[in-house]
Structure 1
Amino acid sequence: MTAARILDHKGSEVFTVSPDDTLEAATRFLRDRRVGAAVALDAQGRPAGVFSERDLVRAVAEHGAGALSMTVSSVMTRGLITAGPGADVDELMALMTDRRVRHVIILQDGEMTGVVSIGDVVKRKIAEAEAEAENLKAYIESA
């Protein structure tokens, strides 16, 4: 399954925050939408980084409760990890593993079309394994 198909199934809405948002505001945003990350957009509307739960944990561990008044730009993950819509689940999984990230931004012709999370990848891998098990079971039963 490709990134484009994953986005077709889950939807392509991208949750975004401003790099100038406080961690408190950005964390409430994640909580309210029940997501683990949001793309931080610069003034021109381009992805500048990703703010995730991991970034929050690192900030609080280093700065204590005062971290909540820090800005997203001070803790977000820069160096965006991206893939094209044709990337398959195994490619996405390898990219996430190699780069130690949980979210990959999907770009088509330079435009952000969605975000695929590690949870999306795991769901697809489980579905593949279940389908393979069903096929094997059907094959064995027909023999």
Structure 2
Amino acid sequence: MIHHVSIGTNDVHRARKFYDPLMTLIGFRVLKSSDRSVHYGASDIAFSLETPTNGEPASAGNGIHIAFQAPDRETVRRFHETAVTSGGSDDGAPGIREEYNTNYYGAFVRDLDGNKIEAVTYTARESFGLNR
């Protein structure tokens, strides 16, 4: 079981403006923050943004991404839209990823530091028939 995940950022305040609305969408809130880090979770810290302790610039890992569980497809769509509107870049529009699972509905974005993040849900098609 994973206890928590931390990724690097070069500007905690800028990263927080980007991540605060995204974390709210998936049910996380800020549990602790400082000038060097911000920590999100529901009751315990699950996801953190931190300036590297070695003093080197933060850089995104090639091949690494973090997937956040969303409660439904609408939240996945809102997560993607909010991220892109907040300065992130699209790395995979909301939609079914049948190569993973017939109900795998996800969206991928890059944050302001280039980290790849995803919102995903496995809920079946919603009753209003959207399959985006």
Q: Normalising by structure 1, report the TM-score.
A: 0.22
Q: Identify the structure with the greater strand proportion.
A: 2
